[in-house]
Structure 1
Amino acid sequence: MSPSAQPVIHTASARRIATLALPALVVLAAEPLYVLVDTAVVGHLGPVPLAAVAVGGTVMSVAVWFGTLMAYGTTGRAARRFGAGDRPAAVAEGVQASWLALGLGLLLCLLGLTLAGPLTHALAGNADTADAAAGWLRIAALGAPGLLLAAAGNGWMRGVQDTRRPLGIVLGANVLSAILCPVLVYPLGLGLAGSAIANVVAQSVGGGLFLLSLIRETRRLRPVPSVIVRQVVLGRDLLIRGAAFQVCFLSATAVASRFGVAAVGAHQIALQLWFFAALALDAVAIAAQSLVGAALGAGDADEARDVARRVTIAGGLSAVVFAALVWAGASAIPGWFTSDPAVRDQAAVVWPWFVGMLPFAGVVYALDGVLIGAGDVAYLRTTTVVGALVGFLPLIWLAYAFDWGLAGVWAGLATFTAVRLVATVARWLSARWAVLGATR
């Protein structure tokens, strides 16, 4: 802490949490909401294009995974420095994270362009789906640098408790793309390629605007390799945790594809709704990351524990409301995305699993935010890997071996959620996560 720096204390009132969470909710929901619009637009092209987006989108989720790593890791580091009263140091974390984001984004773009064919053929259940997915992916990969720059920007802005600027940037970029998608797919006749182009537009515009905001915030923009390396090292636990998620969801898509085009189409609809719910419910977790990090950076463990209690209650209640809405729309919602009767029948198989897990997932996501804000990601890494190895992966591959269909795939996701629920609640109650200081 610099000699003039003073700790920043923010009381974890319901109003303060809402002030941070509500703009974050729109930011978090904007991308998956656009994906849902994209899924609905492509779904009416037929089951093969829908399955292609499921496969190609699953591969692109690797970039989203890196983006989540970038945003969450940067938020925790920036929030502790902001809480200690050193805003320039918090912004400096964003500068180095943006350099890292640009490098990773270009690398992922190159890999997507060169490996699209082999990756989609490995995941898809038939050649038509694989070929269509490869074409979509080669275009969509161009958006990776913008996607990661936007994630880094979100991270440092959340760390300094600014959730309003990300709201305008992300919402504007995704509204533009949501307008472009149906126009490119149908009137202009680009079909599946139009969907990918709309994705690239949203991600590139968003990344550029976040970069412009960073330039306006500070003139100290040169890369510092030692800091970037430190960020990579400090983020290794989030990286491993994210890898466990990616292996799970890639495996789930691969298994669902083996049950036929209708099954993987239904899996895509349900999975995108799950991601939408997860990110929407994660809004209180974003507030937790900012407030917990700031409280611990300022040396206030009681405040950090109060934030944890409040967001856990808020996350659970929000998830119950969301589950009730999804259950009420069980007969109508799948029809928004496809008119194919076989896909809708398969969606009905998934629906009870989807709805039943939501209340428990709301608590898990809230406590994830608490522990990430506290820098306790090593614990999250271990419990996520354990949940994947003993829950998700065994069940979905047993589902394939014994032909349990989508019910078996989603039973694996339910077990994964249950393991994480027990682990995060136990950690929260122990209070071992509340380590004080500007760094951890």
Structure 2
Amino acid sequence: MVIRLALPVMGSMLVQTFLNLFDTAIIGLLPEEYSISGQAALGYSVILHWLIGGFASCISVGTQAMTARRFGEGDKEAAGKVLFNALFLALVIGTSFSLIGILSAKRLFRLVSFNEHVLEQGIPYVTARLAGILAMVGTLVTKAFFDGLGKTHYHLLVAIIMNLFNAVLALLLVFGFLGFPTMYVLGAGIAALVASYLGLFLILAITLFRRYRTDFKVFRLKNFDMGVQASILRLSLPSGVATVVVMTGFLLFFKWVGMIDQKVTGEGLSSFVPYMHGLLPFAVSQETFYNFLATRPPVFEAATKVIIDLLSISFMPCLGLGVATATLVSQSLGAKKPKEAEKFGWTAVKLAVMFTGVLGVFKLMLPDLAMSVFTHDAEVIECGRTPLRLMASGEWLMGFALVLAQALFGAGATRYVMKVELVMHSFCLVPLSYVLGIALDLKLLGIWASALLYLLGLAFAMTGKFARGQWKKIVI
């Protein structure tokens, strides 16, 4: 049962991962003045996009949990009522956050990056992505409804069509093929924007199938219920807060990497004037020095983006497996079968650990080969090799951390997950990455060592909570 439900979700996550990796790969094929800073810009943009869009999309968590619980109880019309109210919330929240994102994109990007080349390419790209938040929220809410019913294959079909369209359009716009304008990094952002609204149209079209109109009676005005909306928000808000905490933590994580790029650049310049080390801005004029810092290719940031993309090959399928597990856990609790719910959770963890373990061994043994898929720059590969091996050694921890976090979301233990993320980012990932990477000068290895410790702590916290079993008594 876990595999049957999980495979389509994992498939859709892999398709989405392919798109993210595809963007990184094609940007890496551009001339060097675009490729390195462009990949760094993608890294910041993905985090900013999820910081705003992920918070707005948190209502999908409550939607899935409530849909699965009502469906498990045998009340199809109540499940349809959940979707109606979730779509209303998606329209209001998605529109608001799209506008907020567009208006704040430039200011937000300048808070996290100093490099002018990164800013030049990243701000237009992230603005295009943030314009698609409405589509993102609407799609994820509708997906959550179908996932809650166990119809996980619907989003897989939508994801395949949407992302194939995205890939083709990105190629045309990034490189200017077939008479299209050459837009470089911005072209990938516009392709993603158009594809996101295509995906929303397709998945909403499925809700108009006769069985959902007749059995679930989704689109009835009398379904409007502020009480249901309040329940969705109550269940979802902790997930949204957790998303903001996670993305803010990783923004700071990425900012520390940018500081390493600046520091290494300054040290490299200082080697030409050893007797004035530390006074270099004045030796070559402050304007020349800071212009160099602002325009040097951000090698460490590019390496970090490549590492994140390689880890996402494990991360996204684990998340998909977790989403399927959340459905089974919630449906089982709705059907008064708590032991079955627990069994689904541990079965999913075993599958996830095996999957991530195999991928981790590959990256541990052949890091250069893995990184060469996304970059051919020797300096980027050199910077990322050891940190990638470090993360690969603990990649299996994702199986515990991500799958069980989603299972707890499905059970309704959303506040616990939020609190754990808040603690782990505030007291582990953010401060430790700064101390190890910058204060102790371990550079990228120190930064990623803190990420591994964060993953270890998250795995222990989620495993302990799930094993204790109090989540079986939560009422939704």
TM over 0.5: yes
Tell me the residue number matched to 1:418. 456
Tell me the residue number matched to 1:4. none
Indicate the SS of the match to 1:162. coil
Tell me the residue number matched to 1:253. 254
Report the alpha carbon displacement of residue 324 of structure 1 after superposing the two structures with TM.
2.2
Q: Distance in 2 between matches of 1:322 and 1:378?
A: 31
Q: Distance in 1 between matches of 2:24 and 2:56?
A: 21
Q: Distance in 2 between matches of 1:400 and 1:214?
A: 51
Q: Distance in 2 between matches of 1:112 and 1:349?
A: 36
Q: Is the 8 A contact 2:322 2:402 kept in 1?
A: yes
Tell me the residue number matched to 1:275. 312
Q: Per-residue CA shift, 1:310-340, capped at 9, x if unaligned?
A: 1222222222122123334412121221222
Report the alpha carbon displacement of residue 223 of structure 1 after superposing the two structures with TM.
4.5
Q: Distance in 2 between matches of 1:155 and 1:352?
A: 35
Q: Per-residue CA shift, 1:74-121, capped at 9, x if unaligned?
A: 211111111000122122222222222222222222122222221111
Would you say 1:381 and 2:382 are equivalent positions? no
TM-score normalised to structure 2 length:
0.85
CA 1:327–1:68 in structure 2 vs 1: closer, same or farther (change >3 Å)?
farther
Tell me the residue number matched to 1:194. 187
For 1:39-438, list aligned pairs within 5 A.
Answer: 39-45=24-30, 46-66=35-55, 69-186=58-175, 187=177, 188=180, 189-216=182-209, 217=212, 218-220=218-220, 223-260=224-261, 261-398=298-435, 399-435=437-473
Tell me the residue number matched to 1:5. none
Counterpart code for 1:281: C
Q: Distance in 1 between matches of 2:363 and 2:78?
A: 43
With 288-297 and 397-406 compared, the bigger mean Cα shift is at 397-406
CA 1:357–1:99 in structure 2 vs 1: closer, same or farther (change >3 Å)?
farther
Q: Is the 8 A contact 1:96 1:227 kept in 2?
A: yes
Counterpart code for 2:232: Q
Q: Distance in 2 between matches of 1:258 and 1:223?
A: 50
Counterpart code for 1:36: L
Report the alpha carbon displacement of residue 25 of structure 1 after superposing the two structures with TM.
0.7
Report the alpha carbon displacement of residue 378 of structure 1 after superposing the two structures with TM.
1.8
Q: Is the 8 A contact 1:96 1:228 kept in 2?
A: yes
With 393-402 and 367-376 compared, the bigger mean Cα shift is at 393-402
Counterpart code for 1:191: Y
Q: Is the 8 A contact 1:117 1:131 kept in 2?
A: no
Indicate the SS of the match to 2:201. helix
Counterpart code for 2:55: F
Indicate the SS of the match to 2:470. coil
Tell me the residue number matched to 1:12. none
Q: Is the 8 A contact 1:66 1:148 kept in 2?
A: no
Counterpart code for 1:404: L
Counterpart code for 2:79: A
Report the alpha carbon displacement of residue 67 of structure 1 after superposing the two structures with TM.
6.1
Percent of pairs with identical residues: 21
Q: Per-residue CA shift, 1:255-274, capped at 9, x if unaligned?
A: 11222200001111111222
Report the alpha carbon displacement of residue 428 of structure 1 after superposing the two structures with TM.
2.0
Tell me the residue number matched to 2:12. 27
Q: Distance in 1 between matches of 2:139 and 2:52?
A: 12
Q: Whose radius of gyration is greater, 1 or 2?
A: 2
Indicate the SS of the match to 2:471. coil
Q: Is the 8 A contact 1:121 1:127 kept in 2?
A: no
Indicate the SS of the match to 1:49. helix
Q: Distance in 2 between matches of 1:390 and 1:299?
A: 38
Tell me the residue number matched to 1:36. 21
Counterpart code for 1:172: I
Report the alpha carbon displacement of residue 368 of structure 1 after superposing the two structures with TM.
1.4
Q: Is the 8 A contact 1:95 1:214 kept in 2?
A: no
Q: Is the 8 A contact 2:56 2:93 kept in 1?
A: no
Counterpart code for 2:372: G
Q: Is the 8 A contact 2:55 2:241 kept in 1?
A: no
Tell me the residue number matched to 1:13. none
Indicate the SS of the match to 1:321. helix
Indicate the SS of the match to 1:125. coil
With 70-79 and 141-150 compared, the bigger mean Cα shift is at 70-79
Aligned length: 423
CA 1:175–1:400 in structure 2 vs 1: closer, same or farther (change >3 Å)?
same
Tell me the residue number matched to 1:6. none
Indicate the SS of the match to 2:89. helix
Q: Per-residue CA shift, 1:404-423, capped at 9, x if unaligned?
A: 22112212211111111111
Counterpart code for 1:100: L
TM-score normalised to structure 1 length:
0.91
CA 1:31–1:166 in structure 2 vs 1: closer, same or farther (change >3 Å)?
same
Indicate the SS of the match to 1:259. helix
